[in-house]
Chains A and B, each alone.
Chain A
């Protein structure tokens, strides 16, 4: 073992390593070190993103999380509630549940629903293209969260805790699995024009090492140097930079000769070579113009299409976790004008999401890629009432609804072509096979090969996990 000092989380004896990581022997890619007395290579210790082995074999190796931030209405997308038409403009027979703001009469969906695929699952016209792949999708109509507010719900959905600083799902997954491509970030969070609310906390690494934090890309940009910091050098041409690195290698080699036992020196040398290669690889990965025209046509025009296509290119290259946010702020938050706004937003992404599912499948990538779709909550079946300072008072939108909403999963070992769980007859509350966000997280980790109770990290004196002390794997969602 090398002699260089290690920070608390890296300076692990084998015993510590096992304890802290809560994984069995062979996990963490350190099997060789544990099994024998052979020392860990430089890279293994200081590069926290090397590929690692999960707890058990699993299909899903990558995740694409399509985040409809703001809260898309389940009633208008994947959870038809025809009974609402009967009560249109009238109070529901049951009392409206308490949400963030007062709501009134029943508001039936203005969108048409249709059955798709062999499974015959009903989907609204908003996601007609997505629905063409419905036989690969498990529509969870019974997801629920804790409170009807954006901030805590985003934190719960992303980090498993509504208030405290906790690592995000993507960070946990990268901590558990590392990355298959060292030339690209392991965890990428894309959001055009700026941040969603809660900002970078949505993809934070919390107390996990910073290497597991999502790398944020503002996908309004198309130029690589605007997407990834320091990826281009305007002042030195590539062949000159190669010469620099050659000279650097000479210098470092001479320096290293008298310090041959130090893995940290070697890993820093390697990091420069990696960085150099990354310049080419990253530029290539983010350049959708390299896709054949028929593929670009399939995804369609616009920013959503481009970033969803980038997501596919990234997982294809071994990036572990890609989060695709719809846009800055909370675009799906239709307190007013739901019909117009939801139609516009769905128009922007439906074709690309449909294309993504088809494209992943035709490339044989759908099996190993878990696609997650959803927001931080859904919306009320009752119309939002005017409230000063809160909405435009048009009485044609819906309030937040955490009691029951739709999230769907596809690919990655998910049992597709099924509706899992249900909300009540009006879509207010999950009533059947309820899936709390902790359960969803447990299930996602399971699909990736982890026992959510054993994917832990020692911090501040205790072993933390994504699901804290909660979470049940939803067996019915697994193929």
Chain B
């Protein structure tokens, strides 16, 4: 392969000579590979074996353990000593030379590593075999191929082609471990071996309830119910656990969870991004989403999964046509083909192979072995395809009748043609010279090359993504960059073992996940390990499980589930998650508006739908808190959860407070509260009952306007709200008199009663307890008719005043009567018999002297309110408690 690369470099060099006069621009994008080659030529040649020893045994250790403090990148290197260039290392630091080539025993570096002079690295002594490597290296004369000019920030491989990720994965045997009892599987052995080398022990297994919740959330994105947890905890065994694993892998929710992870990579959205005039939506994008979910549920072999998505038109499988959405559902960039193809190249290379090929759009990749010729070779494949719209699914990519002749676009400029390129696979992944693809655009051949066993990246990259989802951290922590600038794997042999086994097992994602979640390393507790802080601050070695926070989908789904509202319907057109009425579906079915992604998505760290997502950020912004505290969605779930917690058997009495609290805990957190928690919650509820009432009263309108009848026998009023309000008048309807309510109406000054069955009523609700006094004057101005009868009626005390008035006025005074909060006073006016000429004017003042002596008063002339806009009703104390449980960390994190 290396030879192939050299050939291609020199080939380019020839082309350059030939074209330089025409394309002087080319000289600006000097192939980096040539630059590297010439730099090498100036150095004292080193034995290849010595170089390899340095590159494999020494340099990675320096990079991992030393550069942070002793490199140019560290700013002011500690002890004025840098290890990031050969010259600097030889020169030594403030205290003089640290290596004596050929004499390990005299080298300060060795005594420092052995903790005999300095103690380096300070975070913990390196394993003995590593120190032995350094001794051997110094004994060899400390061969160091690094260039002095470089201020090395990246442990660049000597030759990009020798980069680890480009070598085929090899399955090596499980390493020997001291604690033979611990590993349950080969996976565990690889993890344990690294832990033991660092003098760390793995953690104890998580308790059964924790483990089951972890498993549920990881496999389905939904927590288990309290009953499931209890049942499992009571009968926890390996067999039970294994059954749970198989049950969850077989559940349809598995595909919804893992399908969504894939949609992050596929930069899935339901819209095209910015458009000028055309329709912004991909109305059938959801068919691709549903295809992905079904593929995961059916455990479609991953290689086939990949081929389907790149060459859906050529698989002969009619059910796979929707898979074309993978490529065609990207941003449209105002239909600029260069951008569209670039997006697709990025998706196929970075998303599937962890290679940043898009970097080679304007110049050869600066670090990885990817020349622009490779980029434009892939570009040529896509440019040789056309898109056909379909009514019943995302657009389908098909080969054009005639493939295009593709040139390199110099510096990415479509108007500046460089050399012609064939349509072929990436040269860094090809043995020998890349051969031009033969069939049509070559897209199918490309798909097969990506999904090939011979491709060293595809399986590794996917296995690593899966591992990352299950542990919160990949074996390679840059899951979309397996290039030279990406992070090296923490457990390279494990990664390879998993990748090879995965391919051997028909690329089965379910078997891969099953293998991982059955391991002991997955089953570990996430309890803090104080002994790991120093030795392994990022838990790269997995001495314990990582705690993870629910992502947007899991959080929203869990809220709906706790509220008893989650609709498990699968598939179909996308639903709006952020506008009321809120969809009850799982969040994976939410409409993703690529252009103006609603704040909810951004606030909760949704994957950017414009680019294949490597991973999601995990922020803790106050906007997330505000959503949980104030959003209508969160309040609605709290209210529903509270209602649900009160449910009791039909014939049983309502739940006692402590029973209801216990229910709440089980519904929200899957467990019963502790005694302490029970007490806290009970206190919270009780202390709030009064304030609840006050809040409800305060939220209630002071005045309501209606009609009804005063019944002298029962001393009660039958009140109905007026149905219609316009221009300051409440009455029976748009036409007046109303067919049913007749002349009955109320306005700010007074009103007019209807017939005997339709007295008019101004209803007042007392906001607080105290003494209420009514003053006022009632007038019946008309000279005709027989007047009206007015009464003040209290719900608590019946009739408290009665004033018949005809053709004149009467003062309406009620001396202070005691009222309680919520008491209702009705000002009722009925006709004196004949209900014509019954227009009345009534100004009344209600003055409340509260028990604490404060006085408040309301006058009928203050105004007349129309219907109140629907406002969120106040959340009662139980709902407030429910909301607290939905907001707590226990709800949001998975141990």
Using a CB–CB cutoff of 8 Å, the interface residues on chain A facing chain B are: 1, 3-11, 13-16, 18-19, 24-26, 37, 39, 46-49, 151, 163-165, 182-183, 195, 198-201, 206-207, 209-211, 213, 215, 229-237, 239-241, 243-244, 247-248, 250-252, 254-256, 258-262, 264-265, 267-272, 274-276, 278-279, 458, 460-462
CA distance A164 to B526 in the complex (A): 41
Known: A25-B75, A248-B887. A276 touches B629 (CB 8 A): yes
Are B619's CB and A241's CB within 8 A?
Answer: no
Verify B623–A230 contact, CB threshold 8 A. Answer: yes
Chain B positions 373-404 with a Cβ under 8 Å from a chain A Cβ: none
B889 close to A275 (CB less than 8 A): no
Is B481 touching A230 in the complex (CB atoms < 8 A)? no
Which residue of chain B is the closest to A241 with respect to CB atoms? Answer: B629
Given contacts A165-B610, A278-B622, contact A3 B635 (CB under 8 A): no
**Bound: A215/B342 CA distance, A:** 29
Residues of B within 8 A of A163 (CB): 333, 336, 339
Q: Chain B contacts of A211 at CB under 8 A?
A: 617, 619, 621
Among candidates A3, A183, A207, A248, residue contacting B611 with C-beta atoms closer than 8 Å: A207
- Contact A37 to B122, CB < 8 A, known contacts A48-B619, A248-B887, A461-B486: yes
Check B274 against A199 for contact (C-beta < 8 Å): yes
Contact, CB under 8 Å: A3 / B629: no
Contacts A460-B356, A461-B359; is A252 near B622 (CB within 8 Å)?
A: no
Quick one: given A7-B618, A37-B122, A230-B631, are A460 and B623 in contact (CB under 8 Å)? no
B153, B154, B366, B874: which contacts A235 (Cβ < 8 A)? B874
Please give, as numbers and ranges, the residues of chain B lying within 8 Å of A231 by CB-CB distance: 626, 630
Q: How far is the CA of A200 from the CA of B477 in the complex (A)?
A: 31
Closest 7 pairs (CB-CB, A-B): A461-B356, A5-B472, A275-B625, A25-B75, A261-B528, A274-B622, A1-B537
By a CB distance below 8 angstroms, the chain A residues around B614 are 8
Q: Flag whether B651 is at the interface (Cβ < 8 A).
A: no
Contacts of B546 in A (CB 8 A): 3-5
**CB interface residues, B 329-344, toward A, < 8 Å:** 331, 333-334, 336, 339, 342
Chain A contacts for B539, CB-based, 8 A: 3, 5
Query: Do B274 and A201 have beta carbons less than 8 Å apart?
Result: yes
Chain B neighbourhood of A278, CB < 8 A: 622, 626
Q: Please name 20 further chain A to chain B contacts, defined as beta carbons within 8 Å, in addition to the given A26-B75, A206-B608, A460-B356, sorted by A numbering.
A: A7-B615, A8-B478, A8-B614, A25-B76, A163-B336, A198-B274, A201-B274, A210-B602, A211-B621, A230-B627, A230-B631, A235-B872, A235-B874, A240-B688, A247-B684, A252-B888, A261-B530, A272-B887, A458-B485, A461-B367
Q: Once the chains bind, are B473 and A259 in contact (CB under 8 Å)? A: no
Most buried by A among B483, B881, B887: B887
Instruction: Provide the residues of chain A in CB contact with B123, threshold 8 Å.
Output: 37
B621 & A271 in contact (Cβ 8 Å cutoff): yes
CB under 8 Å from chain A, chain B span 664-688: 676-677, 680-681, 684, 687-688
Q: Are B74 and A25 in contact (CB under 8 A)?
A: yes
Given A48-B619, A236-B875, A460-B480: A255 and B549 interface contact (C-beta under 8 Å): no
Over the window 879-890 of chain B, the binary record of Cβ atoms lying under 8 Å from chain A Cβ atoms (1 yes, 0 no) is: 011011101111
Interface status of B421 (Cβ within 8 A of chain A): no
A240 surroundings in chain B (CB, below 8 A): 688, 691, 695, 880
- Bits for B509-550, please: 1 = Cβ < 8 Å to A, else 0: 000000000000000001111101100011100001011110
> In residues 459-503 of chain B, which contact A (Cβ within 8 Å)?
471-473, 477-481, 483, 485-487
Contact partner of B684 among A183, A195, A243, A279, CB < 8 A?
A243
Closest partner residue, chain B, to A204 (CB atom): B610
Shortest distance from the beta carbon of A221 to any chain B beta carbon, whole Å: 15
Contact indicator A256/B889 (Cβ below 8 Å): yes
Determine the chain B residues whose CB is within 8 A of the CB of A255 once the complex forms: 888-890
Q: Is B257 an interface residue (CB 8 A)?
A: no
The residue on B at minimum CB distance from A14 is B68
Point out the residues of chain A lying under 8 angstroms from B885, CB to CB: 251
The verdict on B21 contacting chain A, using a C-beta distance below 8 Å, is no
Provide the bound-state CA to CA distance between A5 and B471, in Å.
8
In the complex, the answer to whether B366 meets A201 with C-beta atoms within 8 Å is no
Q: Say whether, besides A230-B630, A251-B677, A271 and B622 are in contact (CB < 8 Å).
A: yes
Tell whether, in the assembled complex, residue A183 and residue B622 are in contact, meaning their CB atoms are under 8 Å apart.
yes
Judged by a CB distance under 8 angstroms, whether B722 is at the interface is: no
Contacts of A15 on B, CB cut-off 8 Å? Answer: 63, 67-68, 71, 73-74, 153
Complex Cα gap A210–B552 (Å): 14
Q: Is the CB of B889 within 8 A of A252?
A: yes
Q: Which of B333, B622, B888 has a CB less than 8 Å from the CB of A251?
A: B888
Give the chain B neighbours of A9 by CB distance below 8 A.
Answer: 617
Most A C-beta atoms less than 10 A away, residue of B154, B333, B893: B893
Q: Which residues of B contact A272 (CB under 8 A)?
A: 622, 625, 628-629, 887
> CB within 8 Å of A: which residues of B?
63, 67-68, 71, 73-76, 122-123, 153-154, 274, 276, 331, 333-334, 336, 339, 342, 346, 350, 356, 358-359, 365-368, 471-473, 477-481, 483, 485-487, 526-530, 532-533, 537-539, 544, 546-549, 595-597, 599-600, 602-603, 605-606, 608, 610-611, 614-631, 635, 676-677, 680-681, 684, 687-688, 691, 695, 871-875, 880-881, 883-885, 887-890, 892-893, 895
Instruction: Enumerate 28 A-B pairs (CB-CB under 8 Å) in ascending A order.
Output: A3-B532, A5-B546, A5-B548, A9-B617, A19-B73, A39-B537, A163-B333, A164-B342, A165-B331, A165-B611, A195-B596, A199-B274, A200-B597, A229-B599, A240-B695, A248-B888, A251-B884, A251-B890, A259-B527, A260-B528, A261-B528, A261-B530, A268-B620, A272-B628, A272-B629, A279-B630, A461-B367, A461-B486
Complex CA gap A269/B625 in Å reads 9
CA distance A381 to B296 in the complex (A): 61
Are A199 and B684 CB-contacts (below 8 A) given A18-B73, A271-B622?
A: no
Which residue of chain B has its CB nearest to the CB of A195? B596
Knowing A8-B479, A272-B629, say if A47 contacts B889 (CB, 8 Å).
no
Q: Which of B487, B547, B596 contacts A199 (CB 8 A)?
A: B596
Task: Check B487–A16 contact: CB distance below 8 A.
Answer: yes
Q: What residues on B are CB-neighbors of A233 within 8 Å?
A: 629-630, 635
In the complex, A233 Cα to B629 Cα: how many Å? 8
B274 pairs with A151, CB closer than 8 A: yes
By a CB distance below 8 angstroms, the chain A residues around B339 are 163-164
CB atoms of B617 and A7 under 8 A apart: yes
Cβ of B481 and Cβ of A460 under 8 Å apart? yes
Residue of A nearest to B631 (CB): A230
* Bound-complex Cα distance A6 to B883 (A): 27
Set B615, B622, B871: member contacting A275, Cβ < 8 A: B622
Query: Contacting B695 at CB < 8 Å: which of A39, A48, A206, A237?
Result: A237
Query: How far is the CB of B857 from the nearest CB of chain A, in Å?
Result: 24
**Complex: chain B residue closest to A234, CB-CB:** B872
Residues of B within 8 A of A8 (CB): 477-479, 614-615
Chain B residues with Cβ below 8 Å from A458 are 485
Query: With the chains together, A238 CA to B790 CA distance in Å?
Result: 42
User: CA separation between A256 and B359, bound complex, in Å?
Assistant: 44
Contacts of B888 in A (CB 8 A): 248, 251-252, 255
Residues of A within 8 A of B635 (CB): 233, 235-236
B residues within 8 A CB of A262? 528, 547
Among B331, B356, B530, B605, contact of A210 (Cβ-Cβ < 8 Å): B605
Nearest Cβ on chain B to A322's Cβ, whole angstroms: 18
How many angstroms between the C-alpha atoms of A11 and B333 in the bound complex? 32
List chain A residues, Cβ under 8 A from B600.
Answer: 229
Closest partner residue, chain B, to A272 (CB atom): B625
